[in-house]
Amino acid sequence: MTGKPVPAWVISPQDKVEVHKRQNVWARENCRSVLDAFLHCQTGRTLTIGWVCKDQKKDMVDCMVYYMQPAFQDRFMDEIIEEKKALKKASSS
C-alpha cells in the first residue's frame, strides 16, 4: 500500500474475503495460458494425469502461487479502501 499503513478497522473480515476473491480472479487471468495447457493435457485422461501432465501441473501451481502471494494483496486492499471512500463521500453528499 502507499503512504501510511491502513488502520485495521478499515478492512473488515468480509473485505479480506473480497480481497482474496479478487486476487484469485486476477491470478487466474494472469495464469490463463498455463491453466489451459493443464486442462488440455487432462482431457481424455484419468489415471495417467499424474505423470503425463506433471510439467503442466507444476507450471500451473507455480503461476498461481506467484500471483497469490500476500505481497499482491495490497493492490486489492487499496481498491476496496478507495471504493469505501467513494461510497462514504457519495453518501455524505
Q: Please write the tens of the pLDDT for every residue from 31-57.
A: 999 999 999 999 999 899 989 999 999
pLDDT at 9: 60
CB 68 within 8 A of CB 23: yes
DSSP string, 1-49: --SSPPPGGGS-HHHHHHHHHHHHHHHHHHTHHHHHHHHHHHTT-STTH
Q: Which residues of the chain have pLDDT under 50?
A: 1
pTM summary value = 0.77
Domain locations along the chain: 25-85
